[in-house]
Structure 1
Amino acid sequence: MKNLKNSGIEWLGEIPEHWEMVKIKYIANYKKGKNPKKYSDIPNENIYLTMEFLRKKHKKILYIEDTSDLIKVSENDILLLWDGANAGEFVLAQDGYLASTMAVINFKDIEKKYAKHFLVLIEQELRKQTNGMGIPHVNGDFFENLFFAYPPLKEQEQIANFLDEKCEKIQNFIEKKEKLLSLLQEQKQALINETITKGLDKNVKLKNSGIEWLGEIPEHWEVRKLKMLFSFGNGLNITKADFISFGIPCISYGEIHSKYPCRLDLSVHKLPFVSETYLNDKPQSLLSKGDFVFADTSEDIEGSGNFTCIQSNIPLFAGYHTIILRPKTQIYSLYFSFLFDSIFVRNQIREKVWGVKVFSITKSILKEVQCFIPPLKEQEQIANFLDKKCEKIDSLITKIKKQIELIKEYKTTLINEAVCGRINLNKG
């Protein structure tokens, strides 16, 4: 084992004595992407690389007609997601032109595969320092001044080859688990879609819904737009800087996307706080049990329409980038949680959202969404049926996600030890 020394960086730990520590600004530079003047759906060789496309979350491909002043990148170039909920994450490029929400990182005298692995450690620190008014973005100065462990080139190559082999096996395991996860999620979605449009009675008489994409629904159900069922409001116009250590809980778009989709129960879930002065200043943004809160922006099309439903009577506020829906008539809120999560409501929203950097939802879009409404008692029966069925599927999903999380933690630990020279590669 090599003799080690303190790197001087708390999150890095010890490194071999003969290694150097160098700030990123001395060994790399970055260029941010730009928005194209014009793009289209007509295929050509100039692909517009968005975060959604690279992370395989956006199947629609955009092509650029005028590439002047744009940043061209090649396959396996290292990209940094600069803006959005995942700001600070590194991904590998494909051939194309870079969106303004990303930057390409070019290293000098560094083995690219070694740099790619070391950036896994950088990413953890970088994401802690993202900032911005609502939409997070990378702090460029902080990134440039982060330290990079700099071994001799031969050792960089050895470490990269070792990690490529190990990480490939780990990734194969993760992909199998993610495929199973995807199948379970599809099973759950199919169950919701079928039950929420046809009900529980297989012998019920059907009628034409009057909606081309929906087809038939039970004869005694109604079709109504959301504006007939709900009143609409906005969350607080605040930023992360307005959060305090105690006060009134506040749900913003980030928690809706990543932590508490579909349901929020403050007896179980934890949120940041805002000042109690908002009780007097912005009472219209205070939420009640049964209210719905939609995120009004999303970094990918799949997240358009993400929402949560308030399950407890504890006072809380809707925060930034949110739209509030308050029932104007008696409904069974759990039924509407499943309805809003169905593909039929989601697709109506996705057809109307707009934005290049982010996908934005407006109250006008939500007001025109059409819903199918069973009688109140039937809403309750459908919701309780789906709740029991989905609970079993969710239990399996949670178990698989935990397995994926544990293997990813092992991968991060392995990379950490290897890129810091604390593994004897001759013994594997």
Structure 2
Amino acid sequence: MSAGDVEGFAIDPTVVRAWKRYPAYKDSGVEWLGEVPEHWEVRRLKTLCLRSALYGANVAATAYTTTGVRFIRTTDITEDGHLKETGVFVPEELVKDYLLKGGDVLISRSGTVGRAFLYDSGEHGPCAYAGYLVRFVPSENVLPKFVFLFTKTQAFADFLQVTAISSTIENVNGEKYANATWLLPPLPEQHTIVAFLDRETARIDALIEKKHRFIELLEEKRQALITHAVTKGLDPDVEMKDSGVEWIGEVPTHWEVRAFTRCAIEQADYRGATPTKTESGIFLVTAKNIRKGWIDYEASREFVSEIDYLTIMRRGLPQLGDLLLTTEAPLGYAALVDREDIALAQRVIRFRMDPSLFEPRFVLYSVLSPYFQNQMLCQSTGSTVLGIKASKLPQLKILCPPVSEQRQILALIDKKCAMPDKILERANRQIALFKEYRTALISAAVTGKIDVRDEGEAA
């Protein structure tokens, strides 16, 4: 991505600029690293560490507590290397040999392969780490954050692609990480590069956060418009009646309040044994793929074999326009089936609504509206993860205007949301460009493609 491409989306010009290269380079001898600054060392990761490739503790979930030492698992680390706010704890005596020290670097060896975390005792408090994470303790002449930042480079991504053992879950063991090729500039230069990236990425992150706030505000306004339309209708002077449902309030007199499940001509819950996953075949839509209004086929990519498909889907095959509703992790996300060559996983219930009562998109907007979501929350159970049992679904109510009026409401929503949707799409493209530039900048600085030594004193 060129600076011009980014500037086309109004990125702050102080962020986008042409960085100079080092005066002299040498061949690294590694295909995915290419040329590196002449005075940099090309090393194995293990040679940069006091201790290398230390596997974490295997602790049963039954030992998790709400106090004690935070127990870091691969799923607790975000894509950008932060810890998620929610986590689990274990008694210290169970993990006393796996306690982290400031500057330790953790790298995931399974599942989210290559995802890394830099431990800071002051920021994170007492922590231990789980078995699918590998620990590296950098030497005194190696800046831990420089080691961590290398895991964010394209070179490291290329290493993972070549090294990972692809099965149902990718794996890279500790030995392979330990023998991975790493770059080592002189220590003062490491400090300069890290300081430069801290400053520049902070600027980019501020722009991303600003865009996120803008998107949230726009989505709130969009949702308010939709919610009003599917609960009050189009006529501001229409006679109203009490719906009898706390979360709904008054509704147009001629609208019906119906039991949600009674409006479906088909309902299928795909709970049961977890299907065997394959490398290719029929796409398996899990709860992770269901978003608020759409199916994200990139969020999780799992497949089942064509041979097992009919057995897995024995409770009924999906059709275009069927409603998919998640019952747990996350609760209450919904989307319409937009392709029929899919299998459905646990925690996803499929509804085929009565076409004489509902337009599919009207049901989708209704299910995602606050009045329906609040009903689901009231019927849900669980301490750490909220979920709703299928037996509770008949208690949920949905508003049912005449189908002809639903079509008018949908036409209004389409008209009113056309411009906000375009603005949202553009804002999301801008965020994607910000993130792409951020990644490219880190990769270029940490692999020596740009020389930032003169930027150390820059404001």
Give TM-score, length-normalised by structure 1.
0.75
Partner of 1:262: 293
Query: What 5-or-longer segments of structure 1 have no aligned partner?
Result: none
Report the equivalent of 1:291: 322
Structure (1 or 2) with the larger CA radius of gyration: 2
Per the TM alignment, residue 160 of structure 1 is displaced from its structure 2 partner at its CA by 0.8
Q: Which residue of 2 aligns with 1:399?
A: 426
1:21 correspondence with 2:43: yes
Counterpart of 2:408 in structure 1 is 381
Partners of 1:380 and 1:308 in 2: how far apart? Answer: 18
How far residue 225 of structure 1 moved from its aligned partner, in angstroms, is 3.2
| Pair 1:5 & 2:26 matched | yes
Give the secondary-structure state (helix, strand or coil) at the position aligned to 2:361. Answer: helix
Q: CA offset at residue 77 of structure 1?
A: 6.9
Answering whether residue 274 of structure 2 is matched by residue 232 of structure 1, we say no
Deviation (angstroms), 1:416: 1.0
Q: In the aligned structure 2, how far is the partner of 1:179 from the partner of 1:387?
A: 23
Query: Pick from 104, 109, 115: which aligns with 2:147?
Result: 115
User: Equivalences for 1:10-409 in 2 at 5 Å?
Assistant: 10-17=31-38, 18-23=40-45, 27=49, 28=52, 29=54, 31=56, 35=61, 37=63, 39=65, 68-69=93-94, 88-90=114-116, 94-96=123-125, 97=127, 103=133, 105-109=135-139, 110-121=142-153, 124=157, 139-141=172-174, 143=177, 146-230=180-264, 231-234=267-270, 238=275, 240-241=277-278, 243-244=280-281, 251-257=285-291, 262-263=293-294, 276-277=306-307, 281=311, 282=313, 284-295=315-326, 298=329, 303-311=330-338, 315-321=340-346, 323-327=348-352, 329-330=354-355, 331-350=358-377, 352=380, 354=382, 356=384, 362-364=389-391, 366-409=393-436
1:104-152 Cα deviation digits (max 9, x unpaired): 855322312222322212774588659786xx68654465554332333
Structure 1 residue 402 displacement after superposition: 0.8
Aligned to 1:417: 444
Structure 1 residues 126 and 19: CA distance shift in structure 2, 3 A: closer
State the 1:367 CA deviation: 4.7
Assess if the C-alpha contact under 8 Å between 1:36 and 1:66 holds in 2: no
Give the deviation of 1:399 after TM superposition. 0.3
Counterpart CA distance in 1 for 2:106 and 2:209 is 22
Structure 1 CA distance for aligned equivalents of residues 69 and 417 of structure 2: 43
TM, length-normalised to structure 2: 0.71
| Count of residues in correspondence between the two structures | 404
CA distance in 1 between counterparts of 2:91 and 2:310 reads 52
> Residue type matched to 2:42 in 1?
E
2:287, 2:348 within 8 Å by CA — same for their partners in 1? no
Partner SS for 1:308: strand
Q: How far apart, CA to CA, are the structure 1 residues paired with 2:89 and 2:315?
A: 44
1:220 shift after superposition: 3.0
Q: Is the 1:49–1:99 Cα contact (8 Å) retained in structure 2?
A: yes
Identity %: 26
Write the distance in 2 (CA, Å) between the matches of 1:366 and 1:127: 44
Verify the 8 A CA contact 1:12 1:420 in the aligned structure 2: yes
Query: Structure 1 350/49 Cα, relative in aligned 2: closer, same or farther at 3 Å?
Result: farther
> Mind listing any 5+ residue stretches in structure 2 that lack a counterpart?
1-21
State the Cα distance separating 1:198 from its structure 2 match. 1.9
Contact kept in structure 2, 1:20 and 1:151, CA below 8 Å: no
How far apart in 2 are the matches of 1:350 and 1:335? 21
Equivalent AA in structure 1 for residue 41 of structure 2? W
Shift of 1:425: 1.9
> Is residue 278–residue 304 contact of structure 2 (8 Å, CA) maintained in 1?
no
CA contact (8 A) 1:79 1:92 kept: yes
Query: How well do the aligned residues superpose, as a CA RMSD in angstroms?
Result: 4.3
